[in-house]
Chain A
Amino acid sequence: MNRRLYGALGLSALTAMLVALYMVFVWVPTEADQGIVQRIFYFHVPCAWVAFASFGLVAIAGIFYLWMGTQIWDDLGYAAVEIGMLFCTLVLITGSLWAKPIWGTWWTWDSRLTTTFVLWLMYGGYLMLRTIADDTEQIARFAAVIGIVAALDVPVVIVSVRLWRTIHPAVLVTRQGGHGLEDPRMVVTLLVSLAAFTLLFAWLLLLRFSELRMRTRLATLARDIALARFRAGAA
């Protein structure tokens, strides 16, 4: 059943991605001021959306892990944080590639960029903790707390363009209200890209989560074997 679900989700994500690519490179009109490089936007924003959704899920999984103490929540949080880090890294890279021709610099300590970088650093710390330390219950609890605290930065990143002076465009809701996209086709393309990335996120999460569940089962089985050997030796 799981393999069918993976297959269906993977195929849906691939199809949606191909449609999104067609729309980005063929269908949508070129933005008047920025030219062709503005098309980075159609994958830059969905990458940010997946990163934020992942980190939100890490926080939820962390809360449930601290509350219930069951391994499944820890596995879910670990799977989500990896995907969040992947897409947060892509947001920073694609943003930098977009900034260079438009702002004339690869990086600036703007409020949106800085808060996103802080988010990346915090979840980088989470991943380092999980990679370096042993898989103990205490480490899982520490990681859950980091996951919850770091997620508090997500709303800060979102509202940063409205709270502080910034050169980063407020695309979805501008300071004047409304959105910053001049043509309805731009909105449709963005929505299709968001849908494609949401499917991709679900697929990647399912793959990584099932792998972590398998790792947990493996550890349980190894413990059972050690116990059976010990009993056999004792007898």
Chain B
Amino acid sequence: MEHLGYLFVAYSIIFAAIFLYVAFIWRRQSFLERELDALRKRLDALNDLKAGEEAPSDRSS
């Protein structure tokens, strides 16, 4: 069982690095999803506003 420490450290580093990378991706993905939803809502609100402004002038013409 000589050099068991090296083996343990090597495998620990591999799994820690993969885990941290996956956590990093997931964190960014959930942040982007929230951002995308917020932007979609803002775009819908702007489109509604535009449609509301155009509706009275359509009726008057």
Which residue in chain A gives the minimum CB-CB distance to B2? A35
Chain A residues numbered 16-49 whose CB sits less than 8 Å from any CB in chain B: 35-37, 39-40, 43-44, 47
Contact A97 B6, beta carbon cutoff 8 Å: yes
Residues on the A chain within 8 Å of B7, using CB: 36-37, 39-40
Residues on the B chain within 8 Å of A175, using CB: none
Chain B residues numbered 1-34 whose CB sits less than 8 Å from any CB in chain A: 1-4, 6-7, 9-11, 13-14, 17-18, 21-22, 25-26, 28-29, 32-33
Contact B36 A43, beta carbon cutoff 8 Å: no
Which residue in chain B gives the minimum CB-CB distance to A211? B29
A172 within 8 A of B: no
Contact A217 B46, beta carbon cutoff 8 Å: no
Name B50's contact: one of A93, A207, A210, A232 (CB within 8 Å): A232
Which residue in chain A gives the minimum CB-CB distance to B11? A43
A229 within 8 A of B: yes
Total chain A interface residues with beta-carbon distance under 8 A: 36
Which residue in chain A gives the minimum CB-CB distance to B9? A97
Shortest beta-carbon distance from B61 to chain A in Å: 16
Residues on the A chain within 8 Å of B39, using CB: 218, 221-222, 225
A208–B21 alpha-carbon span in the complex (Å): 10
Name B36's contact: one of A93, A207, A217 (CB within 8 Å): A217
A210–B30 alpha-carbon span in the complex (Å): 12
Size band of the interface chain B makes with A: 20 to 34
Shortest beta-carbon distance from B42 to chain A in Å: 6
Given the known interface contacts A90-B14, A225-B46, the answer about A207 and B2 at a Cβ–Cβ threshold of 8 Å is no
Shortest beta-carbon distance from A1 to chain B in Å: 17
A98 within 8 A of B: yes
Name B13's contact: one of A39, A93, A214, A231 (CB within 8 Å): A93
Given the known interface contacts A40-B10, A89-B17, A101-B6, the answer about A228 and B29 at a Cβ–Cβ threshold of 8 Å is no
A156–B13 alpha-carbon span in the complex (Å): 27
A46–B41 alpha-carbon span in the complex (Å): 45
- Give the A-binding residues of B (Cβ under 8 A): 1-4, 6-7, 9-11, 13-14, 17-18, 21-22, 25-26, 28-29, 32-33, 35-36, 39-40, 42-43, 46-47, 49-50, 53
Q: Considering the complex of A and B, which 10 residue pairs feature the smallest CB-CB distances, nearest first? A: A37-B3, A101-B3, A97-B10, A94-B10, A40-B10, A221-B39, A228-B46, A211-B29, A214-B32, A97-B6
- Give the B-binding residues of A (Cβ under 8 A): 35-37, 39-40, 43-44, 47, 86, 89-90, 93-94, 97-98, 100-101, 200, 204, 207-208, 210-211, 214-215, 217-218, 221-222, 224-225, 228-229, 231-232, 235
